[in-house]
Amino acid sequence: EEEDAEEGPAGGGTQITPQLLKAATGEFSLESILLLRLRGRGIARLGCLAACANLEWLDLSGNAIARLDALAALPALAVLNLAANRVADAAPLAACHNLQVLNLAGNRLSGLHQLRCLTGLRRLESLRLRDPLAGLANPLCAAPGYRSAVADMFPGLKAIDGERLCGRGSELYQLCRDLDTSLGHGAGGAGAGGGGGAGGGGECPSAAQPWVDAGFWEPRRRRRSSIVEEAYRQFGEVLQECRELGRRADDTIAQAERALASRPDPNSFVF
């Protein structure tokens, strides 16, 4: 596949070619490509990617892409991963009206104003500008309250940076944020109180106590009713009888086999 890609001048990176696309997908026609994954190929220029007019799912993460002009010719594109590239201008994506999931983490978007061109994407549900697990972000993510600003700019979003804003699971993220906020205030108050205590000789806080009594989480044994106890007893008796019948049957079969073995074989005589 690397042989089918064209190298740019002076080591400028790889350019997407028809040969590269066909080798990566196994398709003979570029218009037949619906899903394309070109992660970590050292791609710097999108080349003939615009010829994939029916492309719906595209992963170009981990490359060196800076210009997105070719993506404007992909109206069917619904999922786009451009994480870990060199994108500083997302304007060409405004033409991808079917876009629903967009990952731009780890690029060079420096301000929220660079996202205003995407506000016309009415189907956009998930936008990722930062990925803490992968250590990817954009310069604009350092702005205070950027996440709230993005939510206001795109009211139709259901998830920002992988955290749900609405729908199933959103309550968990909100709860975590509330806990972080309360713990932050508590830490600040504790620090202030600790300083005052050191200066004024205040009492030390008491040791933490368990929330519940010992053995609270141990499973409790359920008491069986007399009916259940009687059923267990009868079942045990039936099981014992079955075992006895099985033993007798084994003895009878063994006796029959010994009796048959003691008889002379009529086929053993030679006339």
DSSP string, 177-196: HHHHHHHHHHHHHHHHHHHH
d(CA 36, CA 60): 9
Q: What share of the chain is helix, strand, coil (3-state, %, to 5)?
A: 45, 10, 45
DSSP-assigned letters across all residues of 2-22: GGGSEEPGGG--EE--HHHHH
Question: Shortest CA distance to 124 belongs to which of 113, 132, 115, 134?
Answer: 115
- Give residue limits of the domains in the chain: 2-169, 226-262
What pTM value is reported for the model?
0.61
Residue 63 CA, chain-centre distance (Å), reads 22
Instruction: With beta carbons less than 8 A apart as the criterion, state whether 6 and 26 touch.
Output: no
pLDDT value for 166 = 65
pLDDT value for 6 = 56
Give me the phi and psi of 167, to 5 degrees please.
Answer: 85, -170
Q: Does domain 2-169 have CATH number 3.80.10.10?
A: yes
pLDDT value for 266 = 59
pLDDT value for 89 = 96
Sequence length of the chain is 271
pLDDT value for 201 = 47
Residues 6+ apart with CB under 8 A from 137: 105, 106, 129, 130, 131
d(CA 107, CA 89): 10
d(CA 140, CA 128): 12
User: Which pair of tokens denotes residue 79?
Assistant: 């999922």
Strands of 14-15's sheet in order across: 6-7, 14-15, 43-45
User: Which pair of tokens denotes residue 207?
Assistant: 């040791």
Q: Going residue by residue through the chain, which has 271 residues, state the pLDDT in tens, using 9 for 90 and above.
A: 444 555 554 456 899 999 999 999 999 999 999 999 999 999 999 999 999 999 999 999 999 999 999 999 999 999 999 999 999 999 999 999 999 999 999 999 999 999 999 999 999 999 999 999 999 999 999 998 898 999 999 999 999 998 888 655 545 555 665 666 666 655 554 444 444 444 444 455 556 666 667 776 777 666 656 777 778 888 888 889 899 999 999 999 988 888 888 766 656 555 4
pLDDT value for 145 = 87
